[in-house]
Structures are given as C-alpha cells and as structure tokens.
Amino acid sequence: MKISIFGLGYVGSVSAACLAGKDNHVIGVDSNQKKVDMINAGKALIIEPGLTELTANVVANGYLRATIDVNDAILNSSVSFICVETPSKKNNDLDLQYVKRVCTDIGHILKEKNEYHILIFRSTMFPGSIRNVVIPLLEHYSDKIEGDGFSVCISPEFLKEGSAVYDYYHPPKNVVGTSDVRVRNFMNVINALITNMPTIFLTIEEAEMLKYVDNIWQALKIGFANEIGIVCNSLNIDSHQVIDVLCKDAKLNMSSCYLKPSLSFASSYFAKDLCAFLYESQRLNVNLPIISAVLPSNKTQIERVLNLVIEQNNKNIGVLGFFKENIDDLCENPIVEIIKRLIGKGYTLTLFDENVSEAKLYGVKRDYILNHIPHLSELMVESIEELVDSSQTIIIGNKAAEFEHVFDLIKSDHVVIDLVRIRKTPPKIKQYVGIYW
C-alpha cells in the first residue's frame, strides 16, 4: 500500500515507521528539512523504545522515505494520514493554522490528480473542525466535492509516551469517524494489517469528541487520585493501598457503571459522604478542587432539565418515574426537586410511578416527600395513559420498562423529555428531547 504521512512530529514519525514496518511504502512529509534529512538517513526523530531500530530498518529496506514536496507525496500515494500539530493559542483556543495550511497544499494537488484519494486526519480537533474547516478548504482548493475524488475521515490516535511503538501495534481501540462506505472498507483493511482488533466506526463529530473525552478522562483520573492521596497522606494512610483495592472493583469502579450522561445522581449516600469528606478535608487544611466541584456540578443538571421544560412553552407537565426503577427511596432525589421547582413556577404537574404512593410512604420518606410535594396524592394518577392525556410535556425519570410504551401513546403536540435514555436507540421523532443525546 502507498501511504503519505503529513507532519513528522511525535504521532507522524511513529506512524510512518510503524506503517512502513508492515511493508507499506510510506512517504513522510514535513516542512522542516532537518527532519526530512534525518528520516532519509534512517534516524528516528524522537526517543521511543524500538523506534530507532525500526526507523533504520524500514529506511534501509526502502519502505520509508521523507520529503518536503507535497506534490510528490500526494501523487505517489493513495491515502494520506494528516498528523500535523494543533497547538493552543494564547487564549487557549485551538490553533488550526497547520491544519489549514496542509489542507490548502493538498487541495491544490488533488485538483490535478485524477485518482481517488483518502485523507485520514489524526490531528486532535474540536468537533465541527472537519466538517466546517477541513472539508470546505479541501473542496475549495481542489475544485472537487468531498466523496467524489477524495474522502475525509478522522481516526484519533491513542499512543502513550514511552510505549508508542507497542501501542501502535496493540492499540486500546481502533476508532474511525466516517459515513463513507469506501473509507470504512479501506480502514478495515489497513487496520487489519496492524492489529486484529476490530474498528469502531462513529460519526466524524463523535470521533473528534472521543479524543478530547479520552484525554480529559485520563487527566481527571490523575487529578482525582492525587486529591485522595493528599487526604490519605494527612491521615497517615497509604493511598496506594486504598486505590489498588478501588481498582480491583471491575463491577462498579473500573467499569462503564455510572459513566453515562444522564440526570444528576440521586443517592443520599453520595451527597452525605461527599459533604463529610469535604468537611474533614477543610479540618485537615487541604484543598480538593476536583472533589469540591462534584456537588455543584451535580446541581447544574437540575437547572438544565428545568430550562429544557421551560423552552417547550407548555404548562401541563407529566412525570413518569420519581426514582430508580423498582425502588421507592425519594431522599435527595433530583426528580423530586424538579417537581417542587416546577410547581413553584406555576406549572401543572401530573405524576405516575407504580412504586410511589402517599399511602405506602412512612417515616423519613413520608416527611421528606410531603415537605417537597405537599399534595402528592392529588398529583398522582393511576396509569400512563391518564398521564399522557393530561400532559403536554412528558418527562421520563427512570428506566421502568413500561415507560417505553409512552411513544405509542403520544400525539403530535406532545413533547417527551428523556432523562435516562429509555431506549438504546432514541426515537427519531420531532417531539423527542434527550437530555444529553
């Protein structure tokens, strides 16, 4: 396979050597003549285990060469990986000057090229960059339409410094953002040359976002662990022992459990323990900015739901489900807070939940709910059908199986606000609003 790689920085130089290591003919492209000369001399541009030997070998065997000539690279390859830098500006905005420059240069050459060409972007860019910056530039300078003469996709890299060569051949995941069948087929072929891991296909915007989410998640884990370490150290506790056991829990802690965008958490234990932990941290005189932000962040989700309801301009609101399906614990429940706030704003509420009724509540639960919703029994109805008939906007508050059928009952003037993603594939109807999807 004939491949060109634009940008011989960290990602580009590793990618060039690794692809050439699988007997592909690779042309590395960079505006820096010194980098080009080093590659052509068989020298690695960065220090990474195995990269020095790999670079020397693939150059000696004729599988890798470098140039500053964009024309040479595009005309002598059928696919290009774009690995140019996307640094930060002084105001922290993303600087796409190198991406724009390479798109301009490549576009001019594509105008003269008759053969179909695939462009795979590995540069980190915010969602919308491919669609709104990259493709328009390429179309303008090539005088061609994306999908006809050339195609664009994004395939974020997940290399770790210190093990980049190993990670290239053993990636944690293969991700490609595209809707083009030809690109999907090609990426399946090229990824099969590198690893037996299947390729995950997303939309372009989803793949752009994934790279940011991936990096932020890693940074968040480091920051969280360090804050736990600060408190442990103040209490003469071995933080590594604590975190090691935390990580052994693959059911809750190191899994996808809880890691799905939805409404704020509803557990009174989470809130109680967070408050107690932060109180003790203040007593210990330690600052925990990440952990301190959890409760304020949690409360913003309630404001988001209220704003979604207000935007619909409907006064009659129905709520399906108060708390997690199959239980009736209402303490610290965000749905209860939302109901209380909507009543306070003058909305007419209708409620349905098979697991909640005033007659069944007692003790702390009864006191809590009646303090927040004094006339609960007057708002409750006996069926989903009754709720739908009396509501304009319907809020789905938990994943009780019977709530899926609400879509069979709604009419054209209804709006459904889904806080839990009741269906894995959300319905494609104009009345449907998902809180984060």
Domains in the chain: ranges and CATH: 2-202 (3.40.50.720), 204-259 (no CATH), 298-434 (3.40.50.720)
- Per-residue pLDDT averaged across 126-145, rounded? 98
Question: For the residues 370-395, what does the mean pLDDT come to?
Answer: 89
Q: Report the interhelical angle of 294-311 vs 268-283 (nearest 10°).
A: 140
Q: How confident is the model at residue 171 (pLDDT cuts 50, 70, 90)?
A: very high
Examine the pLDDT at 361 and tell me if it is beyond 80: no
In this predicted structure, what is the pLDDT of residue 179? Answer: 93
**pLDDT at residue number 357:** 61
Annotated binding site for substrate: 158-161, 211, 258-262, 324
Query: Which residue ranges are tagged as binding site?
Result: 30, 35, 86, 124, 158-161, 211, 258-262, 272, 324
- Residue 91 is classified by DSSP as T
Annotated binding site for NAD(+): 30, 35, 86, 124, 161, 272
Q: Is the pLDDT confidence value at 362 over 80?
A: no
pLDDT in tens, 13-33: 999 999 999 999 999 999 999
Lowest mean per-residue pLDDT among 219-223, 252-256, 264-268, 347-351: 264-268
pLDDT above 60: residue 364: no
**Dihedral sign (CA 157, 160, 166, 171):** negative
Quote the pLDDT of residue 330: 59
pLDDT digits (tens, 9 = 90+) for 74-128: 999 999 999 999 999 999 999 999 999 999 999 999 999 999 999 999 999 999 9
Give the pLDDT band of residue 360 (cuts 50, 70, 90). low
Across the chain, mean pLDDT equals 93
Query: Quick one: residue 258, left, alpha or beta (phi over 0 = left, psi -120 to 50 = alpha)?
Result: left
- Residue 74 has what DSSP assignment? H
Give the residue, 36 or 329, on which the prediction is more confident.
36
pLDDT above 90 coverage of the chain, percent: 85
- With CA atoms as reference, report the closest residue to 356 among 381, 332, 337, 392: 381
